[in-house]
Amino acid sequence: MTTKFKAACVQNCATADVDENIEICTRLTRQAAAEGAKLIALPEYFSGLEVIDRMIHPVAFPEGNHPVVAAFTALARELDVYLLLGSLGITSADGRIFNRGYLIDNGGNIAARYNKIHMFDVDLGEGKKVEESATIAPGDEAVIADVEGAALGMSICYDIRFAHLYRTLAQGGASILAAPAAFTKLTGEAHWHVLQRARAIENGCYVISPCQYGTLKGGAECYGHSVIIDPWGKVLADGGEGEGIIAADIDLNEVSLARQRIPSLQHDRPYAFDNPAPATQ
């Protein structure tokens, strides 16, 4: 089992041109690999995304002929690295799209797939309403992927607000949690770092979360600030607001140490909830 390695996050601002996004993210991935990263994570919808009439429209293809899948499986094999493709738009039979993340192993094989479970259907006020479920089909399965013996719990963006998902992943053996995102600037400024650090602290896990930055086609603004966080909640690297990469050393012994200090994963207890508060009028 690999206990020590370098992880990296790619941070981009996706254009409307999938080939341009592949070129940019390939260059940044090569840079991360040249700096010694063995696990390289890319953001949600890094290959293209726009918001039209409050609905999310990612670049989408069937998995079998998705140009990003082909390009990045080949790249993982060439560079001998694991790639976490934060998410791609994958067309589904009913016309909606799966927001699907992939772990590609260092042989260029698809090692795991995860369909985003929680849909970003929100009203942030001042006309900032988003209805992800109008165009995106939700998933219904939690996924833990293997990175040379290290267990990585997969999630995407809005999932980060649902702590029970990460508890399930950690209790299922995950020592690394990943939440690739295209987090909005408005919510990112208020909540991004707090949520990422909380998931790390609650579960004694590393958290690796690449995030898009800047203004996307259609006017949506992404927060950036890709982060790598240790199991004690310390931010090891922060991507700020521009294009680039971040990297940090991962030592899974730190997961064991954090969980020995505060063994909360062993302290969950069942409880009754027979007298809920009355509904507000």
Q: For 132, what's the count of Cα atoms within 13 Å in the CB-facing half-sphere?
A: 21
The CATH superfamily label for domain 4-262 reads: Carbon-nitrogen hydrolase (3.60.110.10)
- 44 three-class SS: coil
- 208 three-class SS: strand
Whole-angstrom Cα distance, residue 260 to residue 193?
Answer: 24
Residues 99-120 have pLDDT tens digits of 999 999 999 999 999 999 999 9
pLDDT of 279: 64
pTM (global) more than 0.75: yes
The catalytic site residues sit at 44, 116, 157
Query: What region, left, alpha or beta, does residue 245 occupy, with left being phi > 0 and alpha being psi -120 to 50 degrees?
Result: beta
Whole-angstrom Cα distance, residue 222 to residue 214?
Answer: 5
- 22 three-class SS: helix
Closest C-alpha to 59, from 118, 115, 112, 15: 15
Whether 281 has a pLDDT exceeding 60, the answer reads no
pLDDT of 222: 95
Residues 166-185 have pLDDT tens digits of 999 999 999 999 999 999 99
Q: How confident is the model over 141-158, as a mean pLDDT? A: 97
Contact assessment for residue 226 and residue 43, using Cβ atoms and an 8 Å cutoff: yes
280 confidence band (pLDDT: 50, 70, 90) = low
Domain ranges of the chain: 4-262
Contact assessment for residue 211 and residue 187, using Cβ atoms and an 8 Å cutoff: no
216 confidence band (pLDDT: 50, 70, 90) = confident
